[in-house]
Amino acid sequence: MKLVVIGAGITGLAAAHRAVELARERSLAIDLTVVEARDRLGGTIATERADGCLIEAGPDSFLSEKPWALGLCRRLGVADRLVRTDDRFRKVFVWRHGRLHPLPDGFQLLAPTKLGPFLSSDLFSWGGKLRMALDLVRPRSVVDDESLGAFVRRRLGAQALERVAQPLVAGIYTADPDDLSLAATMPRFLELERRERSLILGLWRASRRARRGGTRGGRWSLFVTFKDGMGEMVLRLASRLPPGAVRLGQRGRGIERAGQGWRVTTDDGTALEADRVIVTTEAHAAGRLLRYVDPALAALLGEIAYASSATISVGYRRGDVPHALDGFGFVVPRSEGRTVLACTFSSVKYPGRAPAGRVLLRCFVGGALNEGALDSDDATLIATAREELRQALGVTAEPLLTRVHRWPKAMPQYHVGHLGRVEAIERCAAALPGLHLAGGAYRGVGIADCVRSGEAAAERALGGSPPPSDRLDGAELP
């Protein structure tokens, strides 16, 4: 079987690796080619070492509570390379009115689960706290899908949205909550409302059940990464592929029918014959590749919006940073009028990210609400980040190192109606035998979701069963 995988980000690598696994399990001869436009593997995953620091250009971790990435690590034999967050510093701050306010203990993304810390917090006014408490008596909605912004306003009020939900969502999805589909991004809260009616009550009950049941599987924190950074995952996956399978610097130009199979052409004129093709590029790129195969499918793929962002990593001597750095970082509400969306205290969150006596901070800029920030050159972005770090953390010293990494049109935006659009895309793709779509554009943007998507595409292409990661016992999950 000739299989071509277009794109060598985490989705494409997971798809290629799963295809190799399935071929081995079924004693099937497979001719695998992975085509990647960049001159390196990994997509948005890129790890760099500089001046003793470990710098992540893109994702710095993955969720352990979604089993697919963790299961893949087990099958690769690299679970012993994973490290957890330093949970002594799980606190997250919100920058408001010139200072950092800790998010109340027990606040689960949108709503509180602990009364005392919530009532004593100065992040919200008493009016805002009373409005949030009305969630206890508000009726359920009958809407199937609404924006996250509308949902939070309706249940918890404007302060909960402006001071917590919006900045946290900006840090996760680089998105505008008034565009973001609740059903596609945070279905848990939609299900909570339907089942429990009140978010606060539902989260409190879930927290209480967890405490009564005890903590299962303390091995992993919610977020985990590799000792040598997320690039280690890319290298391990690549090492499991057949020699010569990956072709770097070859951008896909088009896909067309070729008898009972397919032909993939690249910008350099190469034509690859294939029995099966897995497309793992961004949706807009996939649409361009398929524009002559199925114009309707290409149009649907082009409707999935993307946002651009950048990370700015800055290293300092520890003594030059007055703040205690007793948390994982801070987020910034849009109402504050800042350029920085969020900042991760990288050397606090994970071990080995900076030498002793130094700190590494990573700022995020851009996103759907401020893509214009990326019009600035690197020097301007660094200067802006330094000024806002001065205001937030009190650091005025010259940094020891700086790095800027840009990600143009790399983050899919799950707008209201996204799931319906994805279902239409899947129906169109199902009518094209041997062609399969995968990636963060469809049913999850995180590393674990991309692994699941890539592996599922390989299983459809080769007719295999899900890997053990789909059937993990939850005993080791948090």
Q: What is the pLDDT of residues 117-175, one digit of tens each?
A: 999 999 999 999 999 999 999 998 878 889 999 999 999 999 999 999 999 988 889 99
Question: CB neighbours of 265 closer than 8 A, spacing ≥ 6?
Answer: 252, 253, 254, 255, 256, 271, 272
Mean of all residue pLDDT scores within the chain: 92
Q: Where in the chain is the domain with CATH 3.90.660.20?
A: 306-410
pLDDT beyond 60 at 8: yes
Residue showing tokens 């992540």:
56
pLDDT beyond 60 at 292: yes
E-assigned strand segments in 194-300: 223-226, 246-248, 252-258, 261-266, 271-274, 276-279
User: Phi/psi of residue 371, each to 5°?
Assistant: -65, -25
CB atoms within 10 A of CB 296: 11
In this structure, are residues 363 and 311 in contact, taking their beta carbons and an 8 Å threshold? yes
- d(Cα 183, Cα 447) in Å, to the nearest integer? 19
Q: Where in the chain is the domain with CATH 1.10.3110.10?
A: 103-213
Q: How high is the pLDDT of residue 209?
A: 76
- d(Cα 100, Cα 391) in Å, to the nearest integer? 10
Residue 467 banded pLDDT, cuts 50, 70, 90 = low
- d(Cα 152, Cα 161) in Å, to the nearest integer? 6
What CATH superfamily classification does 306-410 receive?
Protoporphyrinogen oxidase, mitochondrial; domain 2 (3.90.660.20)
In this structure, are residues 360 and 351 in contact, taking their beta carbons and an 8 Å threshold? no
Query: Using the 8-state DSSP alphabet, how is residue 147 labeled?
Result: B
* Beta-bridge partner residues of 24: none
User: Could you tell me which CATH number the domain at 2-42+230-304+414-476 has?
Assistant: 3.50.50.60
Tokens of 420: 């319906």
* Beta-bridge partner residues of 306: 412
Between 308 and 473, where is the model more confident?
308
Q: What is the pTM (predicted TM-score) of this model?
A: 0.93
In this structure, are residues 8 and 43 in contact, taking their beta carbons and an 8 Å threshold? yes
Q: CA-based Rg of the chain, rounded to a whole angstrom?
A: 23
Mean pLDDT confidence for 390-395:
97
Mean pLDDT confidence for 237-252:
96
Mean pLDDT confidence for 171-182:
93
Pairing of strands 435-437, 276-279: parallel
pLDDT beyond 50 at 23: yes
- d(Cα 427, Cα 192) in Å, to the nearest integer? 29
How far, rounded to the nearest angstrom, does the alpha carbon of residue 166 sit from its chain's CA centroid? Answer: 16
- d(Cα 9, Cα 264) in Å, to the nearest integer? 18
Mean pLDDT confidence for 3-16:
98
Q: Where in the chain is the domain with CATH 3.50.50.60?
A: 2-42+230-304+414-476
Residue 219 banded pLDDT, cuts 50, 70, 90 = low
> Each residue of 35-94: pLDDT tens digit?
999 999 999 999 999 999 999 999 999 999 899 999 999 999 999 999 999 878 889 999
What CATH superfamily classification does 103-213 receive?
protoporphyrinogen ix oxidase, domain 3 (1.10.3110.10)
- d(Cα 11, Cα 5) in Å, to the nearest integer? 10
Percent of the chain with pLDDT over 70: 95
Q: How high is the pLDDT of residue 215?
A: 45
